[in-house]
Chain A
């Protein structure tokens, strides 16, 4: 029985990721290590044998190096800050340990499995990592010269952990680079260690961008309490999870789309073999950030209950559909400032949807949160985005925005645009800023089409600006004379603009 073929999960008592096991567990682990010799193979066999007869024996790469935060907790204080603008430097020995630990963490985060398996890559990596571990030992020993009590003992725990970690490196790398059970080459080493420890099979990472995995931060070991199933009916893959006091929604990544929705098939998404919906959501968030708007939520991949999926922050408020159904909205629902904010964010969302090629912006697909003058608009379910026009099966594939019969995509280029987003669009170099960010998330044809949409929107923005339709203050903006319409009136006027998101969803309810 080989270690790398083992699918056993670590016991609940021994946490994965950045969490520490108990001192007793550490001692037991060290004891096993000490009998294993230096070769990873011996240790591997020991672990497999023990896993056969005992519960609670973890797979090898389950535990990374102690973090600086954990060391601080043991020492009981953080390093003192420098005083008088750095004229008096404080606790440099303590800080040095933190810096050396951070260097090791960075090395683990920056190295990918592909780099390790490249010719000479592993040797160079191990050499560099061992040098960095030596630096921690040197820094720790310097600290211990000044601190022999509780603090010194806490640092000794770290030094013991460094040696444990050092001994485990060969076996860990063997396990992570095994051809039998190879994780994606682009996966950073620290993420791979957590994935392996959680028993994630390589197939579960199909269609998942390795660069956007944040397993170290978001895994079963770092989660507070159990996850809670959300939704009803056949919605059985969405959970509420909490990490660091923040509630988020976890959606297990599916390798096949069984939704029966036409939109992705029209858009050229391979629903049976390669939907990559998680990637599409992440890419939407990346784009929103580049445009300086928060309407597109940032998301990343996490591990929950041994599964890989998309992790998004809980969006505040309610879906527009829910607000309309409960008759919670009318012309008095928005103060002038709130209405201005709503308009701006909806037009930001239009810009994002056009750039992402979103085809599914129905009224249940974005959230509205109104608190006085403050409005937060958050787009959700950004799965049906980034079409591939080579494979589009319906509609006019040259049209921007791309629209499909019976779908809820934005119908026209925006009639107004906020200055913030307009400036970003003008300043962005697609190849440098966007295409680079999309690598690993989208395929080349999807990125190519995104560029086509981007260039069309940038040309449109230049015209909008020339004609006075780029808006700095949505409350005070007025259209061209003689009407001098408000932004709300302008967006809901004329046939062409009837199809703006604001007009479509708020024109009637606000009696505009």
Chain B
């Protein structure tokens, strides 16, 4: 091959996934997980906003309404949205058969110490990579105890919690909902549902 020959792949438009990955990387951010089955559908709907559909990243209530019911189409969306000088959020919403995740973290606002917050933001993205397959495995193993989906909400604008939708126990407030959910998922199936464990008050 001649020295000046170029690989046709070099001229190809980067995919939405690549665009998102690089945008996050340029800002020192770890991109949140995108399920393999949704990668092909991923698109950029606005500057700093991606998804398999044009989904509202601030619609926590609507997201939870659907997540608490059974079924629903798989979806993922993430990006940076907000208004004003400090109400800016790095958001992520994922709906799969076994798990639904909503994340809204303060990022980029004028009065935020964004650099100091980066490790915490990236740690959440990394831990979600463990949580998602763990939830699928736990559901397959029957650990949801009659529930149909693990819901994890990490929200710096409102409150954070986890719950098994359709299962007993209801939402469990937690400062570390991923950690609490992972603990639950790792418990043997004969344990009591969250909030009603043997010995709980």
Contacts and interface: CB of A to CB of B under 8 A. Distances in A.
Interface in B111-129: 111-114, 116-117, 120
Given A319-B111, A408-B158, A259 B85 contact: no
B172 interface: no
Interface in A313-364: 315, 318-319, 321-322, 325-326, 360, 362-364
Contacts of A262: 56, 58-59, 61
Most buried by B among A238, A360, A408: A238
A35 interface: no
A251 B86 CA distance: 11
Given A261-B58, A262-B58, A321-B156, A235 B82 contact: yes
Contacts of B85: 230-231, 235, 238, 249, 251, 312, 380-381
Contact of B57 (A230, A235, A260, A315): A260
A251 B82 CA distance: 13
A325 B117 CA distance: 9
Interface in A362-382: 362-365, 367, 380-381
A416 to B, nearest CB: 25
Contacts of A408: 157-158
Given A260-B58, A325-B117, A277 B156 contact: no
Interface string B57-89: 111110000000000000000011111111110
B107 A277 contact: no
Contacts of A232: 27, 107-108, 114
* Interface residues of chain A: helix, strand, loop or mixed (majority): loop
B156 A234 contact: no
Contacts of B111: 315, 318-319, 322, 364, 367, 380
A225 interface: no
A391 B89 CA distance: 27
B81 A364 contact: no
A231 B61 contact: no
Contact of A261 (B83, B110, B112, B117): B83
Interface string B82-110: 11111110100000000000000011111
A478 B156 CA distance: 34
A362 B87 contact: yes
B38 interface: no
A365 B90 contact: no
Contacts of B10: none
B46 interface: yes
A61 B60 CA distance: 50
B108 A322 contact: no
- Chain A contact-residue range equals 35 or more
A319 B112 contact: yes
A257 B82 CA distance: 9
A380 B110 CA distance: 11
A383 interface: yes
A233 interface: yes
A277 B87 CA distance: 13
Contacts of A86: none
A122 B110 CA distance: 45
A262 B59 CA distance: 7
Contacts of A362: 87, 157-158
B48 interface: yes
Contact of B80 (A233, A238, A367): A233
Given A234-B48, A321-B106, A406-B158, A259 B83 contact: yes
B109 A235 contact: yes
Nearest to A367: B111
Contacts of B116: 326
Contact of A231 (B47, B57, B110, B158): B110
Nearest to A406: B61
A383 B83 contact: yes
B86 A364 contact: yes
Nearest to A319: B111
A426 B195 CA distance: 49
A326 B120 CA distance: 11
Most buried by A among B90, B106, B114, B116: B106
Contact of B90 (A233, A259, A321, A381): A233
A380 B107 CA distance: 16
Given A277-B84, A362-B87, A258 B110 contact: no
19 contacts: A230-B110, A232-B108, A234-B82, A235-B80, A235-B85, A235-B88, A235-B108, A238-B85, A261-B58, A261-B83, A319-B86, A319-B111, A360-B87, A364-B86, A364-B109, A364-B157, A365-B86, A365-B87, A380-B85
Interface of A: 230-235, 238, 249, 251, 257-262, 277, 312, 315, 318-319, 321-322, 325-326, 360, 362-365, 367, 380-381, 383-384, 405-406, 408
Interface of B: 27, 46-48, 56-61, 79-88, 90, 106-114, 116-117, 120, 156-158
4 A-B pairs with the lowest CB-CB distances in the bound complex, closest first: A381-B84, A233-B108, A233-B80, A232-B108
Given A231-B110, A277-B84, 17 more contacts: A231-B85, A233-B88, A234-B47, A257-B83, A258-B46, A259-B58, A259-B87, A260-B56, A260-B59, A261-B58, A312-B85, A318-B113, A322-B113, A325-B117, A326-B116, A380-B84, A381-B86
